[in-house]
Homo-oligomer: A and B are copies of this chain.
Amino acid sequence: MSSMNIPQSSYPRVVIIGGGFGGIALAKKLSKKEAQVVLLDKHNYHNFQPLLYQVSTGGLEPDSIAYPIRKVLQGYPNFFFRLAQVKEVKTDTKRIKTNIGEIFYDYLVVATGSETNFFGNKNIKAKGMAMKTIPQSLNLRSLILENFEQALLTDDLHERDALMNFVIVGGGPTGVELAGALAEIKKGILPKDYPDLDTRRAQINLVQGGDRILPAMSEKASEKAEKFLEELGVNVWKNIRVTDYDGKKVTTNTKTIFEAETLVWAAGVKAVGLKGLDVRELLSRDNRLKVNEFHQIVGLEDVFAIGDVAQMVTEEFPHGHPMMAQPAIQQGRNLGDNLVLLMDGKPMKPFVYKDKGSMATVGRNKAVVDLPKFRFQGVFAWFVWMFVHLYFLIGFRNRVVVFINWVYNYIRFDREARLIIRPFKKQNKVEKNTLMQD
């Protein structure tokens, strides 16, 4: 037995760091091949990030959009999962240091994904909310609900408004979808839950630095999404950059300020780096690892990167592929095929990204879809959005439960998963250490 109790094998060992879309797609490709696959992740589950905003807004349970990694690759004899935090990669000796020991690799694939990028703004990082992981999404859910409970208690109108004022920074899909969901909660749930509070005063502000929301989509989609948001009562602010936040006041590069107890930062992501691969020449501006058309990290033949953490510069994508699920999945599959070719001594096939389009949902019957050949918005787009998300969700049970929830929420105009299971405010103020067990 080698370190981490992974048995010696006559097959070459492929170590994958990260069980996101890319890592899982790759592991599946390799699962029946002549390779020993070791997947490392600090969580024991794969997390379907595109639906995190529905967890934050009480529409879905967190367990429905997560899936045990062990279960994805159950039954494959050459597959090994280890719950581990990677500390360092040593490319000279082909070893990885983790919190549970060291491991040797023949081929290493970095699929660590991305995290929220606050662009160095410490105040926003400290006082704002991010929404890139399940615990973060649950924290946001708690905070939103706690704010309304607190708004009930104060007679200070100024304070009450600030508690019901939401500033979402970033007009990409995450910001748009969260703003839309909050607007629906404001309309459908708050008046019933808080009849003694004038919830019409609740404000949802979406702040976008550029001149249109959903800038990665077509202009038609941006336009329509903005119209949908306005119909729902969201205040869309364009050409404004948020510059600072002290937990109460949001300042911008213009005269506009917001007094808000909740700021959600969805304005940027950066790749999750690894010690040992943090050489300046390897990294792009947003911390991504520069790779060639075979996903090989520049200068390293047996180390690869896929998904959000990889930057493959092409004519069409001079800054790398979009940091989304689709490129990660396609890259994982391509690399799976290529690793088999490489082990057989055959030439690898360069990666070609097939753009399957992109989409975002704003609210019930309101979505925008850009396919390579068609663009459409509205009810049909909304059904397509739901179908595609159910299709890519891992696990039959998850699909059924999510589907049931969506049907229920649609018919009842409701979102029932609005529980403060882990109080966020309290935890971050007085009772930090005790509350988790209570």
Complex Cα gap A418–B44 (Å): 9
Complex Cα gap A64–B64 (Å): 11
Complex Cα gap A149–B408 (Å): 37
Contact A436 B416 (CB under 8 A): no
Minimum distance in angstroms from A11 CB to a CB of chain B: 15
Contact A44 B404 (CB under 8 A): no
What are the residues of chain B within 8 A of A68 when measuring CB–CB? 193, 416, 418-419
Residues of A145-186 at the interface with B, using a CB-CB cut-off of 8 Å, are 145-146, 149, 152-155
Contact B7 A416 (CB under 8 A): no
Q: Which residue of B lies closest to A409 (CB)?
A: B397
What are the residues of chain B within 8 A of A404 when measuring CB–CB? 397, 400-401, 404
Complex Cα gap A4–B197 (Å): 13
Minimum distance in angstroms from A263 CB to a CB of chain B: 15
Complex Cα gap A420–B67 (Å): 11
Instruction: Judge if A75 is at the interface, Cβ distance under 8 Å.
Output: yes
Complex Cα gap A396–B412 (Å): 11
Instruction: Judge if A196 is at the interface, Cβ distance under 8 Å.
Output: yes
Instruction: Judge if A278 is at the interface, Cβ distance under 8 Å.
Output: no
What are the residues of chain B within 8 A of A139 when measuring CB–CB? 436-437
Q: Mark A76-95, 1 if CB is under 8 A from B, else 0.
A: 01001011000000000000
Contact B433 A436 (CB under 8 A): no
Instruction: Judge if A303 is at the interface, Cβ distance under 8 Å.
Output: no
Stretch at the interface among A26-34, A129-137, A324-332, A355-363: A129-137
Given contacts A5-B153, A416-B68, A421-B66, contact A401 B397 (CB under 8 A): no
Contact B433 A416 (CB under 8 A): no
Indicate the member of A1, A61, A421 with the most B CB atoms within 10 Å: A421
Q: Which residue of B lies closest to A197 (CB)?
A: B5
Complex Cα gap A320–B395 (Å): 47
Instruction: Judge if A74 is at the interface, Cβ distance under 8 Å.
Output: yes
- Give the A interface residue count (CB, 8 A): 65
Contact B44 A149 (CB under 8 A): yes
Instruction: Judge if A63 is at the interface, Cβ distance under 8 Å.
Output: yes
Instruction: Judge if A215 is at the interface, Cβ distance under 8 Å.
Output: no
Partner of A136, one of B64, B192, B437: B437
Minimum distance in angstroms from A393 CB to a CB of chain B: 12
Instruction: Judge if A120 is at the interface, Cβ distance under 8 Å.
Output: no
Contact B62 A64 (CB under 8 A): no
Contact A437 B135 (CB under 8 A): yes
Instruction: Judge if A417 is at the interface, Cβ distance under 8 Å.
Output: yes
What are the residues of chain B within 8 A of A194 when measuring CB–CB? 70
Instruction: Judge if A398 is at the interface, Cβ distance under 8 Å.
Output: yes
Instruction: Judge if A255 is at the interface, Cβ distance under 8 Å.
Output: no
Partner of A193, one of B7, B71, B154, B433: B71
Instruction: Judge if A104 is at the interface, Cβ distance under 8 Å.
Output: no
Complex Cα gap A418–B66 (Å): 9
Instruction: Judge if A101 is at the interface, Cβ distance under 8 Å.
Output: yes
Contact B145 A44 (CB under 8 A): yes
What are the residues of chain B within 8 A of A149 when measuring CB–CB? 44, 82-83
Rank and list the top 8 A-B pairs by shortest CB-CB distance, nearest first. Answer: A61-B63, A45-B419, A61-B61, A70-B193, A83-B149, A63-B417, A397-B408, A74-B192
6 extra interface residue pairs, beta carbon distance < 8 Å, beyond A135-B421, A397-B404: A44-B145, A74-B193, A134-B421, A139-B437, A397-B412, A400-B404
Binding site for B on A (CB under 8 A): 1, 4-5, 7, 43-45, 61-64, 66-68, 70-71, 74-75, 77, 80, 82-83, 100-101, 133-136, 139, 145-146, 149, 152-155, 192-196, 395-398, 400-401, 404-405, 408, 412, 414, 416-422, 427, 432-433, 436-438
Q: List 23 A-B contacts (CB under 8 A).
A: A1-B155, A5-B152, A44-B145, A45-B421, A61-B61, A62-B419, A63-B416, A63-B419, A66-B419, A66-B421, A67-B416, A71-B193, A82-B149, A82-B153, A100-B153, A134-B421, A135-B436, A135-B437, A397-B416, A400-B408, A401-B404, A422-B436, A433-B433
